[in-house]
Amino acid sequence: MTLRFALLGDPVRHSISPAMHRAAFDVLALDAEYTARRTAPDEVGPIMRSADLAGGNVTLPHKLRAARALARPSAAVRATGACNCWWRRPDGELAGDNTDVGGLRTALSRFGFRPRGARVLLLGAGGAARAAVHGLLEGGASSVEVLNRTPARARALRDRALAHATDADRAADAVRVVAAPHAGATYDLVLNSTSLGLSSGDPLPLELVRNAVGARFGAAFDMVYAAGETAWVRHARVLGIRAVGGLDMLVGQAALSLERWFPGRAAPFEVMREAAVAELRSRPEPEPADGSSAA
Ligand SMILES: NC(=O)c1ccc[n+]([C@@H]2O[C@H](COP(=O)([O-])OP(=O)(O)OC[C@H]3O[C@@H](n4cnc5c(N)ncnc54)[C@H](OP(=O)(O)O)[C@@H]3O)[C@@H](O)[C@H]2O)c1
């Protein structure tokens, strides 16, 4: 029997997830289908519960709603309040995970960056930033300074991280809300989780040399992804800062999703990555400004 998986989001027209999953199903000879479904908010729970789907992914703007539909949320879903991957267990209950957390871990590891003991500047405080804070704390980062256009949202992110951290005291020391990079500081990593860079006319999320306070950066990670370099990755590399875009994180979250749906199978990361790059290269238009490319 063919197993059916779906991506729920709105919009989903520009998603590259179907290309990645179909390539993986082919190479693993899995009898499975993956489709993208444009989904209204009140359809999310009913579609996740429908018997014709074995599981799927969730993207903007439904990740929080999907988390609430789960009977068996993972620790990452509980910590972030967001679910991007769900499946039906043999007992019929809906289980789900936030594989953006593991996807970032995979991408940082491929980048050769170890979070343990690292001082990190995190730009942004949206859904992707929740996954980043949780993953960085679990990975042992010594500090995560959150810089966001809307400071109240950064404070809410910190409160949530503290409420769900495995070591609340350490998290309280590590996660700080900042209005600018610390004067004269050296950060091991600066991580862009804002949506700046999705549109070609966007300003850089942070100017890495002429920032007002003279902070320095060992490495830069841009969650925005492209077939080649993103504008911010190019900016960093020109300055001699090691930098990488979000493509491996995107492929990583997809690979982990597949491994949740088919326990015991190893996702073919390189095959999925090639499919993602081919799909991105085939796009005639620049990225839309509304974040619709996520997942
Ligand atoms: N590579 C991957 O696998 C992966 C996974 C997840 C997400 N992402 C990417 O991560 C980015 C954020 O996604 P999300 O789900 O976190 O979105 P989100 O919840 O909508 O958060 C957007 C963030 O961007 C900030 N922002 C938006 N416009 C801005 C501007 N003009 N100036 C300064 N800050 C601005 C927002 O600040 P305010 O709070 O002030 O509005 C907020 O912090 C997107 O580019 C998405 O594609 C990539």
pLDDT for 289 equals: 42
Task: Give the model confidence (pLDDT) of 196-250 as tens digits.
Answer: 998 889 999 999 986 667 789 999 999 999 999 999 999 999 999 999 999 999 9
For 25, the token pair is 């199903």
Ligand 1, residue 293: give the atom nearest the CA. 47
pLDDT for 290 equals: 43
> Which alpha helices (H) appear in 81-193, and where do they start and end?
99-110, 127-138, 151-164, 168-174
Among protein residues, the one with the nearest Cα to ligand 1's atom 2 is 250
Decide whether any atom of ligand 1 lies within 6 Å of the 61 Cβ. Answer: no
Best of 193, 230, 256, 292 for a ligand 1 pocket test (most atoms within 8 Å of beta carbon): 193
For 102-247, which CATH superfamily applies? NAD(P)-binding Rossmann-like Domain (3.40.50.720)
Interacting residues of 61 by C-beta distance below 8 A, sequence separation 6+: 9, 10, 41
Decide whether any atom of ligand 1 lies within 6 Å of the 149 Cβ. Answer: yes
- Predicted model pTM: 0.94
Are both 3-99+252-281 and 102-247 of the same fold? yes
Taking residues 62-80, report their average pLDDT: 96
Ligand 1, residue 60: give the atom nearest the CA. 15
Ligand 1, residue 129: give the atom nearest the CA. 16
Interacting residues of 165 by C-beta distance below 8 A, sequence separation 6+: 79, 137, 171
For 292, the token pair is 């619709």
pLDDT for 229 equals: 94
Between the CA of residue 164 and those of 118, 138, 146, 168, 185, what are the distances in Å? 21, 11, 17, 8, 28
pLDDT for 211 equals: 63
pLDDT for 283 equals: 81
Taking residues 248-273, report their average pLDDT: 98
Task: Give the model confidence (pLDDT) of 126-169 as tens digits.
Answer: 999 999 999 999 999 999 999 999 999 999 999 999 998 888 88
Best of 17, 57, 147, 194 for a ligand 1 pocket test (most atoms within 8 Å of beta carbon): 194
Task: Give the model confidence (pLDDT) of 23-41 as tens digits.
Answer: 999 999 999 999 999 999 9
Residue 294 has pLDDT above 60, yes or no: no
Domain residue limits, the chain: 3-99+252-281, 102-247
3-state secondary structure of 276: helix
pLDDT for 128 equals: 94
Q: How crowded is residue 1: how many other Cβ atoms within 10 Å of its Cβ?
A: 6
Look-up: residue for tokens 């009140």? 42
User: How high is the mean pLDDT of the chain?
Assistant: 93
Ligand 1, residue 125: give the atom nearest the CA. 43
- Write the single-letter amino acid at 3: L
pLDDT for 288 equals: 44
Q: How many helices (H) and strands (E) does the chain have?
A: 11, 14
pLDDT for 212 equals: 60
pLDDT for 210 equals: 64
pLDDT for 14 equals: 86
Residue 109 has pLDDT above 70, yes or no: yes
For 3-99+252-281, which CATH superfamily applies? Leucine Dehydrogenase, chain A, domain 1 (3.40.50.10860)
Burial (CB count <10 Å: 0-12, 13-18, 19+), residue 58? buried
Residue 209 CA to ligand 1 centre (angstroms): 22
Decide whether any atom of ligand 1 lies within 6 Å of the 246 Cβ. Answer: yes
pLDDT for 209 equals: 84
Residue 48 has pLDDT above 60, yes or no: yes
pLDDT for 215 equals: 86
Among the listed ranges 182-186, 189-193, 245-249, which one has the minimum average pLDDT value? 182-186
Half-sphere exposure of 113 (CA within 13 A, CB side): 25
What is the distance, to the nearest Å, from the Cα of residue 247 to the centroid of all Cα atoms in its chain?
10
**Helices 247-261, 269-281: crossing angle, 10 deg rounding:** 130
Question: E strands of the chain, at which residues?
Answer: 3-9, 32-38, 55-58, 72-73, 85-88, 94-97, 119-123, 143-147, 175-177, 186-187, 189-192, 216-217, 219-222, 242-244
Catalytic residues: 63
Q: How crowded is residue 42: how many other Cβ atoms within 10 Å of its Cβ?
A: 8
pLDDT for 190 equals: 98
For 255, the token pair is 């690979």
pLDDT for 166 equals: 85
Q: How many whole angstroms separate alpha carbon 225 and alpha carbon 222?
A: 7
